[in-house]
Amino acid sequence: MNWMRWVAMTGLWAVLIGSGGAMADSPASFLETFNAEARSAGEGPGNPARGQEFFNKTHGNEWKCAACHGAVPTGKGEHAVTHKVIEPMAPAFNPQRFTDAAKVEKWFRRNCKDVLARECTAREKADVLAWLISLK
């Protein structure tokens, strides 16, 4: 399948899921999962303002999330080391984001380890995702 067609189809899915039940992996379904995990750890649901702050500050190491993804990731980012272009993170600007559990898990794990020297908690992931979803 060619790339444009795939993007168009995933975009269509995002619309369908947004307007109906969340059967497939979508930004909303990941947020629901992270919120539920955060709640069972005794913490509140994701908060966009907290997510923005988290994304834009360092956590002991040299990098912040924004170093590669940009301060407001509605546009393209650039890898801090390789300078490779990184497509926008906000789902409204990139319908491929948060549609693939393997990808979401892999990159949260890797990037959180780089930035925080540990994995992110469910609440931290909920905060970041709540913020990314709020960017229109």
Whose Cβ is closer to ligand HEC: residue 115's or residue 122's? Answer: 115
What CA–CA distance (Å, rounded) separates 36 from 38? Answer: 5
Under the binding rule (CB under 6 A), the answer on residue 122 touching ligand HEC is no
**Of positions 14, 17, 31, 67, contacts ligand HEC by CB under 6 A:** 67
Cβ(54)–Cβ(69) under 8 Å?
Answer: no
The whole-angstrom separation of Cα 134 and Cα 48 is 7
Using CB under 6 A as the binding rule, whether residue 69 contacts ligand HEC is answered as yes
66: left (phi over 0), alpha (psi -120 to 50) or beta: alpha
Q: Is 115 in the site for ligand HEC (CB under 6 A)?
A: yes
Q: Round to whole Å and give the CA distance between 30 and 40.
A: 15
Number of residues located near ligand HEC, criterion CB under 6 A? 20
The binding track of 75-114 with respect to ligand HEC, each residue x by CB under 6 A or -, is ----xx-----xx---------xx----xx--xx--xx-x
In whole angstroms, what is the distance from residue 110 CA to residue 36 CA?
A: 22
Question: What is the binding site for ligand HEC (CB under 6 A)?
Answer: 63, 65, 67-69, 79-80, 86-87, 97-98, 103-104, 107-108, 111-112, 114-115, 128
